Chains A and B, each alone.
Chain A
Amino acid sequence: MAMRYAFWPGCVSKGAAPELYMATNRVARELGIELVELDLATCTGAGVIQEQAPELADALNARTFAMAQQLGLPLMNICSTCQGIESMVQDKLAKNPDYLAKINDILAEEGLHYTPDLAIKNFLWVLVEDFGLDRLKAMIKRPLNGVRIGPFYGCYILRPSDILGIDEHPGRNTYLEQAIEAVGATPVQYEGAKKCCGFPILTINRENSLKQAGNHIHEAQDLGADALVSPCPLCHLNLDAQQPAAKSVTHYDIDLPIIHLPQMIGLALGVPPQEMRMDHHVVSTKKLLDKLPEGVPA
């Protein structure tokens, strides 16, 4: 049966990381996953609107959930931050039925209603839990043998673990390593993999933010990583777009390509890198692409 998802692309894939949007759609097509994009859905608030108007953030997210339910589809996102916020809002609404009823009153004005039983999954979870890594392995045209890739999860796809379903799905905190192995690459184990990239405070405390990014990149590179892969475009922005700045703040000699999860999968499926805009990163991905066993297919 064809896999279909209501698709929340997130603000960043429609803004500063258009390569993620492109790669996701390209790879979904390759995998036979149909994505029904929610054009009318808004930002999750990323935990920032929550700092002054948690009620607004809850209502906007419930609205997105209701849109997916109206389509009768599970919701897929491509951002760890979106995942965490959506899971946290879902948990809060499920625990407070009176509050949910008030939010549903607001949604009713546009014919929407949210019942708390929606499956919400980041592309990483869709890949492992719904699609299956064995099925993925069978489709691989260009295994990334010999390439060493460090996982970078993004806080909100891991924590709080009880709300992120890691108790029911104990492997969720190793899915990235599993995906890296499934495409034939070798995962690099390093401490920073599950820490914060620093992005949320980039405009608030630049030095701390860049030190966090620089430290993780340096650690992974030191352990022999050829690239980092992340299911979170916010992490991507701090690790890729801010990498030259992180380099000057930390004085570490870093130069490490940072790729999006769908780009890694796409490479292994034989999708040409330019169809996933891999030439549109601040840190050039050329070093990584040159390392691919059979070179880059034209």
Chain B
Amino acid sequence: MKVKLKVRRTDPEHGAAGYSQYAIDMPESSTLLDALIQVREYEDGTLALRCSCRSAICGSCSMRVDRRARLACRAKIITVTGGDEEHEILVEPMTNMPVIKDLIVDQELFFSKIRQVDPYLQPLGPVPEREYRVPNEAMIDLTHTMNCIMCGACVSDCTVLEVDKNFIAPAALAKAYRFAADPRDGHTHERLEKLSEYSGIWDCTRCNMCVEVCPKGVAPMNRILQLREMAMEAGIQNNAGARHTNIFTKSIIDGGRLNEVWMLPGSVGMFNVPRLLVEAPGALRMLRVGKLPLAQAIPPGAPGSHKMQGMDRVRNVVKKAALLKPKRAEVTD
């Protein structure tokens, strides 16, 4: 099988950057990592890449393949090219992290964020005489996050990190869930408070990119959503993210459909005058072209607020669905 590669080259020591193209022959069963090793060994010894286990467990060979972060050892060439030998595979280092050389990035940012969330169990109270007894389902739930191999793919392709390097980012937030949701941990509330601050759980746009690129099914964004749910339940609601989900939900419970006009004041705070003033010109622009629905001028919950028809039926669903919420698992004696 012919394989065409276009590899991003960076050599900060000599200030060089560009692309190298390679055309090699590989067996049909090869992975991209096999091909890159072939290139390094027989075509171009200057190509730098990081790899170890070659079986998707060490997390070393993550890189961008056709503009998407993946493990090179898990990327079958035939799948990447769809069997088209003319398809030139674009291989680049992960983004959101500085490049050391070619396909090797500096992972310090990744690990600093992991350290930021205190990634270890912090039980409270006396240590039990024997083992901690934890309900099965609680540990099954945590196996998602325990599967993380710290490859950095989710951090590389995170669309928020791209514009804000302070964002704690998917891997560390998934790690935070692993401990916050562990029934043995005694600092869940403090963890949730810290995670609800700026750059934390509420800064994620829920774009699903991390779910898409994670090679191990950790689905970091889903863990972020679970952390939000835990924070809401714990009453940690004095922040824009929590206020946003509150006003949104209130608007649906009240009127069945979204009251868009009140989303902004409801989220930033009704009396946050400086912030509301920042938004005023935008609101006026929308008003001018008929994009500010005046039917929604009355806030959700207030008399005369906008409602869709058949709200009595919706209210019944709201009431009954609340009863379906599962109880959180706890450590048992």
Indicate if B325 sits at the interface (CB-CB under 8 A).
yes
Say which residue of B208, B282, B309, B325 sits within 8 Å of A155 (CB atoms). B208
User: How many of A's residues come within 8 Å of B, CB to CB?
Assistant: 70
Chain B 196-221 interface mask (CB, 8 Å, partner A; 1/0): 00100011111111011000000100
CB distance from B263 to the nearest CB of A (A): 6
Bound CA–CA A50/B245 (angstroms): 9
CB distance from B170 to the nearest CB of A (A): 13
Q: Chain A contacts of B278 at CB under 8 A? A: 206
B interface residue numbers (CB < 8 A to A): 67, 159-160, 162-164, 167, 198, 202-209, 211-212, 219, 225, 228-229, 232-233, 240-241, 244-246, 248-249, 252, 256-258, 260, 263-264, 267-268, 278, 281-282, 285-286, 289-293, 296, 308-310, 313-314, 316-318, 320-322, 324-325
Bound CA–CA A99/B258 (angstroms): 26
Indicate if A142 sits at the interface (CB-CB under 8 A).
no
A-B contact count (CB 8 A): 195
**118-163 of chain A: CB within 8 A of chain B:** 155-156, 158-161
Indicate if A245 sits at the interface (CB-CB under 8 A).
yes
Are B202 and A204 touching (Cβ within 8 A)? yes
Bound CA–CA A207/B159 (angstroms): 14
Q: Chain A contacts of B160 at CB under 8 A? A: 196, 201, 208, 212
A interface residue numbers (CB < 8 A to B): 11-12, 14-18, 39-40, 42-43, 45-56, 58-60, 63, 84, 99, 102-103, 105-107, 109-110, 155-156, 158-161, 191, 195-196, 198-209, 211-212, 215, 237, 241-242, 244-245, 277, 279-282
**Interface majority SS on B: helix, strand, loop or mixed?**
helix
Given contacts A40-B313, A280-B290, contact A208 B163 (CB under 8 A): yes
Q: Chain B contacts of A45 at CB under 8 A? A: 252
Say which residue of A56, A215, A280 sits within 8 Å of B318 (CB atoms). A56
Q: Chain B contacts of A206 at CB under 8 A? A: 278
Smallest Cβ-Cβ distance to A110: which chain B residue: B313
Are B205 and A212 touching (Cβ within 8 A)? yes
Q: Which of B202, B211, B290 has the most CB of A within 10 A?
A: B290
Q: Which of A43, A161, A204, A208 has the most CB of B within 10 A?
A: A204
Given contacts A49-B252, A51-B245, contact A160 B208 (CB under 8 A): yes
Smallest Cβ-Cβ distance to A248: which chain B residue: B281
Q: Chain B contacts of A11 at CB under 8 A? A: 257-258, 260
Q: Give me 11 A-to-B residue pairs in the complex whose CB atoms sit less than 8 angstroms apart, sorted by A's number.
A: A42-B314, A52-B232, A55-B321, A60-B317, A106-B317, A158-B208, A202-B264, A237-B291, A245-B282, A279-B289, A281-B289
CB distance from B75 to the nearest CB of A (A): 15
Say which residue of A48, A58, A241 sits within 8 Å of B321 (CB atoms). A58
Bound CA–CA A237/B286 (angstroms): 10
Q: Chain B contacts of A280 at CB under 8 A? A: 289-291
Are A42 and B289 touching (Cβ within 8 A)? no
Are A52 and B245 touching (Cβ within 8 A)? yes
Given contacts A159-B211, A191-B67, contact A106 B321 (CB under 8 A): yes
Given contacts A160-B212, A203-B264, contact A54 B257 (CB under 8 A): no
